[in-house]
Amino acid sequence: MPQIELSEKADSDLEAIHEHYAGLMGHQRADEVVSTILESIEQLATFTGMGRPSQAPDVRELVLTRYPFLVSYVVRSQVVFIVRVLHERYERLNTSKIPDQFS
């Protein structure tokens, strides 16, 4: 089973999501939001192809159903590399920021 690896940007995205929801609904609710996102990401270890193809070559996007975010990821042998966790309406993946070993 592939391992999940988060990029620094993806980790930073999750922190920003937590801050946003904590400001709106409190820290407990923000914890639940981030936990739900991480649970969805963990499913990629079993179902690597569950995301849709992205506009970027070799990148897939997992569309989250409960919250308005896209998880951009790349699958390489035994690693699912999470590139970014972006809001589905406002942000797009900059493919020049994907580390060379995953592009």
Domain boundaries, the chain: 3-102
pLDDT at residue number 56: 85
| pLDDT at position 27 over 80 | yes
Say how far apart CA 39 and CA 29 lie, in whole Å. 15
pLDDT at residue number 93: 55
Q: What is the pLDDT of residues 43-98, one digit of tens each?
A: 999 999 999 998 888 999 999 999 999 999 999 989 999 999 999 876 565 544 55
pLDDT at residue number 77: 87
Task: Spell out the residues 6+ positions from residue 81 whose beta carbon is closer than 8 angstroms to its own.
Answer: 5, 7, 73, 74, 75, 99, 102
pLDDT at residue number 26: 97
Q: How confident is the model at residue 103 (pLDDT cuts 50, 70, 90)?
A: very low
| pLDDT at position 101 over 60 | no
CATH (residue range 3-102): 3.30.2310.20
Q: How confident is the model at residue 102 (pLDDT cuts 50, 70, 90)?
A: low
Say how far apart CA 70 and CA 11 lie, in whole Å. 14
